[in-house]
């Protein structure tokens, strides 16, 4: 089970960091899993690096 632990905005995107266990955090944006990390801070940093490197995240179609 995932629990929301942080929401942040970056360059027009709203991202959500979910806690899965003490060493696994997942960033979700526009309904898509973007990256994983071992801490909230590292997960947010990874997301920002991906966006800065040119990743475009489209909305997931239902």
- Using the predicted structure, report yes or no on whether residue 62 has a pLDDT greater than 70: no
CB 28 within 8 A of CB 40: no
For residue 61, the SS3 value is coil
Q: What is the structure's pLDDT at 1?
A: 55
Query: What number of residues does the chain have?
Result: 62
What pTM, to 2 d.p., does this model score? 0.88
Contact 25, 15 (CB under 8 A): no
The CA radius of gyration of the chain, in Å to the nearest whole number, is: 11
Residue 59: predicted pLDDT: 81
Cα 58 to Cα 14: distance, rounded to the nearest angstrom: 12
Q: pLDDT tens across 2-56, in order?
A: 799 999 999 999 999 999 888 899 999 999 999 999 999 999 999 999 999 999 9
Domain spans in the chain, listed from the N-terminal domain onward: 3-52
């Amino acid at each position: 089970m995932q629990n929301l632990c942080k929401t942040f905005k970056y360059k027009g995107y709203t991202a959500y960091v979910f806690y899965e266990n003490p060493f696994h955090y997942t960033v979700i944006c526009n309904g898509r899993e973007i990256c994983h990390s071992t801490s909230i801070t590292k997960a947010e940093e990874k997301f920002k690096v991906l966006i800065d490197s040119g990743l475009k995240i489209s909305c997931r179609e239902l």
